Amino acid sequence: MQRYFLNERYVNQNQSFTLTEEDYHHAVRVMRMAVGDDCFLVFQNQCSIKAKITRIEADSVYLEEIEKEQAEKEMPVSVTIACGYPKGDKLEWIAQKGTELGMQALVGFPSKYAVAKWDDKKRVKKSIRLQKICKEAAEQAHRTMQPQVTLLSELDELVQKFKEYQTVLVAYEESAKKGEKSAFVQAITQCVQQEKVLIIFGPEGGFSKGEIDLFYQNGAIICGLGPRILRAETAPIYALSAMSYQWELLG
Amino acid sequence: MQRYFLNERYVNQNQSFTLTEEDYHHAVRVMRMAVGDDCFLVFQNQCSIKAKITRIEADSVYLEEIEKEQAEKEMPVSVTIACGYPKGDKLEWIAQKGTELGMQALVGFPSKYAVAKWDDKKRVKKSIRLQKICKEAAEQAHRTMQPQVTLLSELDELVQKFKEYQTVLVAYEESAKKGEKSAFVQAITQCVQQEKVLIIFGPEGGFSKGEIDLFYQNGAIICGLGPRILRAETAPIYALSAMSYQWELLG
ipTM attached to this prediction? 0.84
Whether B13 has a pLDDT exceeding 90, the answer reads: no
Following DSSP, what letter does each residue of B70-91 receive, concatenated?
-S--S-SSEEEEEEE--STTHH
pLDDT averaged over every residue in chain B = 93
Could you give the residue range(s) of every CATH 2.40.240.20 domain in chain A?
A: 3-68
Q: Cβ of A142 under 8 Å from any chain B Cβ?
A: yes
CB contact under 8 A, B248 and A181: yes
Residue B14: its pLDDT value, please? 77
| CA geometry: angle A140, A36, A39, nearest 5 deg | 15
Give residue A198's pLDDT. Answer: 98
- What's the order of all strands across the beta sheet hosting A38-42? A3-5, A38-42, A48-56, A61-68, A17-19
Q: Does A100 contact B at CB distance below 8 Å?
A: yes
Predicted confidence (pLDDT) at residue A178 exceeds the cutoff of 80:
no
What is the rounded distance in angstroms from the CA atom of residue A140 to the CA atom of residue B161?
33
Nearest residue to A45 (alpha-carbon basis) of A9, A99, A98, A88: A9
List chain B residues with CB under 8 Å of A184.
249
Cα–Cα nearest to B85, from B119, B117, B127: B117
Q: How confident is the model at residue A177 (pLDDT cuts 50, 70, 90)?
A: low
If residue A129 lies in a helix (H) or strand (E), which one and from where to where?
helix A120-140
pLDDT band at B81 (very low <50, low <70, confident <90, very high): very high
Q: How many angstroms separate the CA atoms of A91 and A85, rounded?
A: 7
| pLDDT at residue B97 greater than cutoff 70 | yes
Average the pLDDT over each of B138-147, B169-178, B185-194 and give the range with the smallest value: B169-178
> Residues of A with CB below 8 A from B235's CB?
none
Interface check B97 vs A, CB under 8 A: yes
Q: Hey, which residues does B237 pair with through a beta bridge? A: none
Contact A162, A219 (CB under 8 A): yes
pLDDT tier, B44 (very low <50, low <70, confident <90, very high otherwise)? confident
Q: Is A185 in contact with B250 (Cβ distance < 8 A)?
A: yes
pLDDT of residue A45: 83
Chain A residues touching B42 at Cβ < 8 A: none
Which residues make Cβ contacts (< 8 Å) with residue B11, sequence separation at least 6?
none
Of B143, B177, B238, the CB nearest to A228: B143
Cβ of A226 under 8 Å from any chain B Cβ? yes
Q: Of all residues in chain B, what percent carry a pLDDT higher than 90?
A: 78
Show residues of chain A in contact with B143, CB under 8 Å: 228
Asked if A186 is an interface residue toward chain B (Cβ–Cβ < 8 A), one would say no
Query: Cα dist. A2→A23, A45, A94, A97 in Å?
Result: 11, 19, 23, 19
**Which residue, among A100, A241, A247, would best test binding to B if mutated, counting the most B CBs under 10 Å from its CB?**
A241
pLDDT score recorded for residue A176: 65
Q: Do A185 and B101 touch (CB under 8 A)?
A: no
The answer to whether A126 faces chain B, any CB pair under 8 Å, is no
Report the pLDDT value the prediction gives residue A218, as an integer from 0 to 100. Answer: 97
Is the Cβ of A190 closer than 8 Å to some Cβ of chain B? no
Superfamily of the domain at A78-250 = SPOUT methyltransferase, trefoil knot domain (3.40.1280.10)
A29, amino acid identity: R
Domain B3-68, CATH number (from 3.40.50.1380, 1.10.357.10, 3.40.190.10, 2.40.240.20): 2.40.240.20
A237 touches B: beta carbon within 8 Å: yes
Confidence (pLDDT) at A179? 63
The mean per-residue pLDDT over the stretch A44-62 comes to 91
- Tell me the sheet residues that pair with B57: none
Give the whole-number percent of chain A exceeding pLDDT 70. Answer: 98
Q: Is B161 exposed, middle or buried (0-12, 13-18, 19+ CB in 10 A)?
A: middle
Instruction: Report how far residue B35's alpha carbon sits from residue B51's, in angstroms, rounded to the nearest whole number.
Output: 11
Residue B202, pLDDT score: 96
Closest in A140, A237, A242 to B245, CB measured:
A242
The single-letter code of the amino acid at A249 is: L
Confidence band, pLDDT 50/70/90 cuts, at residue B178: low
Domain(s) labelled CATH 3.40.1280.10 in chain A stretch across 78-250
Q: Is the pLDDT score of A13 beyond 90? A: no
Residue B224 banded pLDDT, cuts 50, 70, 90: very high
Residue type, A15: Q
B132 at A interface, C-beta within 8 A: no
Q: What is the spatial distance between Cα B32 and Cα A242, in angstroms, rounded to a whole number?
A: 39
Query: Residues 6 or more apart from B94 whose CB is under 8 A from it?
Result: B81, B83, B86, B106, B233, B236, B237
pLDDT reading at A71 higher than 80: no
Nearest Cα residue in chain B from A244: B226
Q: Would you call B196 an interface residue with chain A, using a CB distance cutoff of 8 Å?
A: no
Cβ contact, residue pair A100, B231, below 8 Å: yes
Residue A211 has pLDDT above 90, yes or no: yes
pLDDT digits (tens, 9 = 90+) for B130-159: 999 999 999 999 898 999 999 999 999 999
Phi/psi for B64 (5° steps) reads -130, 155
Asked if B184 has any chain A CB less than 8 Å from its own CB, the reply is: yes
Tell me the residues of chain B between 24 and 53 that have a Cβ less than 8 Å away from chain A: none
- Which regions of chain A does DSSP assign to beta strands (E)? 3-5, 17-19, 38-42, 48-56, 61-68, 78-84, 105-109, 148-151, 167-171, 196-201, 221-223
**Looking at the predicted structure, is the pLDDT value of residue B177 above 70?**
no
Judged by a CB distance cut-off of 8 A, whether residue A73 touches chain B is yes
Residue B12 — very low, low, confident or very high, per pLDDT cuts 50/70/90?
confident
Q: Do the strands A221-223 and A167-171 form a parallel or antiparallel pair, or are they unpaired?
A: parallel
Contact check, Cβ <8 Å, A241/B237: yes
* B230 in contact with chain A, both atoms CB, cutoff 8 A: yes
Paired strand residues for A109 = A84
Chain A CB contacts of B234 under 8 Å are 97, 100-101, 237
Inform me whether the C-beta atom of residue A179 falls under 8 Å from chain B C-beta atoms.
yes
Chain B residues with beta carbon closer than 8 angstroms to that of A246: 245
What average pLDDT does range B160-170 have in this prediction?
A: 97
pLDDT per position as a tens digit, A237-247: 999 999 999 99
Inter-chain CB pairs, A–B, below 8 Å: 106
